């Protein structure tokens, strides 16, 4: 088993291959995973099983999965420091998910806000959309993760994971660590450039001017930022006022990339002449952050043997944790395994 420092927190944090990674994924999540990979033990599955809760084009899904692994490495996720792998390659996730399906009351799932939102006004809703928080619980619990960095929208699912773990522990004896949700303080939510009341999302990336894809060329990035919705106040400062959400979003993006404080960011714009200047400077920092990432991404995606071998390495590492844990769970539940006579 890989060596692990007992003092390090164990983090489980996934990302769906539901499209090209967008700036919100990077600033709200991936950048933090990279910054913290020396001080914590990261498990980073590309959660392809989660992405099929809504219809996906099979060829596109397969391409997106590979592309996302390459992009994560290009963003700085180091396969030597973080366990980066593809969820569906580790069958223990699906097996544990089934076992937890059998111990979780359906009412717990029906209460999930994201389920209510995503199923609202849908004629047909897949069972997977309802039960996907159980798969998420399995992803977390199989690695004994103690922290799960999430956006506000996923907090409820981590709380559900705790309930699921607690219930299993009560039924079968102490088995799972109870994880806690951690919401990053800065850059927790990047909003759509076209509509700053909605979070930036991969699946809305087809809407012109909504998202910045990590694969957009510099001209496209500049155009998107220049088109971003602002307001008529013409004042460059952070604000919780809904009407100023567009400017607040641009400043937030600038802040996360530069790592500056609120005051330092506002001071940077003291001499700015209106929102045109704000947009130009935000565009500059975004492009200079993304350009080297794109360069590394293209090197990797064009070298499939290197990429495949990194994926294999991550899968092997993940299995070294997941398979023995699943074995313990199977034993507790009383499912027969060759060479084992019981709990």
Q: Does 151 bind ligand AQP (CB under 6 A)?
A: yes
Which of 16, 40, 161, 230 touches ligand AQP by CB under 6 A? 16
Minimal CB distance residue for ligand AQP: 28
Burial of 85 (C-beta count, 10 Å sphere; 0-12/13-18/19+):
buried
Residues contacting ligand AQP: total by CB under 6 A: 19
Residue 316: CB minimum distance to ligand AQP, A: 23
Residue 242: CB minimum distance to ligand AQP, A: 17
Active site residues: 118, 199, 202
Distance between CA 24 and CA 151 in Å, rounded?
Answer: 10
Subset of residues 174 to 213 that bind ligand AQP, contact rule: CB under 6 A: 189-190, 199-203
Which of 14, 45, 76, 252 touches ligand AQP by CB under 6 A? 14
Q: Beta-carbon neighbour count of residue 141 at 10 Å? A: 26
Q: Does 25 bind ligand AQP (CB under 6 A)?
A: yes
Best CA proximity match to 304, nearest among 14, 51, 45, 69: 69
Q: Does 24 bind ligand AQP (CB under 6 A)?
A: yes
Residue 139: CB minimum distance to ligand AQP, A: 11
Alpha-carbon 269 to chain mean position: 31
Instruction: Compare residues 29 and 96 and give the one whose CB is closer to ligand AQP.
Output: 29
Instruction: Give bridge partners of residue 213 from the DSSP assignment.
Output: 22
Best CA proximity match to 21, nearest among 314, 308, 297, 305: 297
Distance between CA 9 and CA 236 in Å, rounded?
Answer: 38
Task: Show the tokens assigned to 197.
Answer: 């009341």
Q: Does 32 bind ligand AQP (CB under 6 A)?
A: no
Residue 336: CB minimum distance to ligand AQP, A: 35
Contacts of 69 (CB under 8 A, 6+ apart): 46, 84, 86, 307, 310, 311
Task: Show the tokens assigned to 328.
Answer: 């313990």
Contact residues toward ligand AQP (CB under 6 A) are 14-16, 18, 22, 24-25, 28-29, 150-151, 154, 189-190, 199-203
């Amino acid at each position: 088993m890989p060596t692990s420092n007992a003092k390090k927190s164990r983090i489980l944090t996934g990302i769906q291959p539901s499209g090209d990674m967008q700036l919100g994924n990077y600033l709200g999540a991936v950048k933090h995973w990279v910054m913290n990979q020396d001080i914590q033990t990261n498990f980073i599955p590309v959660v392809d099983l989660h992405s099929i809760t809504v219809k996906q084009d099979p060829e596109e899904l397969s391409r997106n999965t590979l592309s996302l692994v390459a992009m994560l490495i290009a963003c700085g996720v180091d396969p030597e420091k973080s366990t980066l792998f593809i969820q569906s390659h580790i069958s223990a996730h699906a097996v544990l998910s089934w076992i937890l399906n059998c111990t979780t009351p359906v009412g717990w799932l029906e209460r999930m806000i994201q389920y209510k939102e995503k199923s609202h006004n849908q004629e047909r809703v897949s069972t997977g959309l309802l039960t996907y928080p159980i798969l998420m619980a399995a992803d977390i619990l199989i690695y004994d993760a103690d922290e799960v960095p999430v956006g506000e929208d996923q907090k409820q699912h981590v709380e559900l994971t705790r309930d699921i773990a607690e219930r299993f522990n009560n039924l079968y004896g102490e088995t799972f660590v109870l994880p806690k949700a951690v919401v990053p303080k800065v850059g927790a939510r990047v909003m759509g450039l076209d509509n700053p009341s909605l979070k930036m999302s991969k699946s809305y990336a087809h809407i012109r001017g909504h998202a910045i894809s990590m694969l957009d060329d510099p001209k496209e990035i500049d155009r998107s930022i220049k088109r971003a919705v602002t307001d008529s106040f013409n004042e460059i400062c952070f604000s919780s006022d809904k009407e100023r959400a567009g400017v607040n979003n641009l400043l937030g993006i600038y802040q996360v990339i530069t790592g500056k404080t609120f005051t330092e960011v506002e001071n940077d714009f003291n001499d700015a002449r209106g929102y045109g200047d704000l947009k130009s400077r935000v565009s500059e920092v975004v492009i200079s952050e993304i350009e080297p990432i794109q360069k590394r991404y293209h090197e990797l995606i064009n070298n499939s043997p290197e990429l495949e071998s990194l994926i294999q390495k991550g899968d092997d590492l993940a299995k070294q944790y997941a398979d023995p844990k699943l074995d313990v769970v199977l034993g507790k539940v009383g499912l027969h395994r060759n060479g084992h006579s019981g709990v």
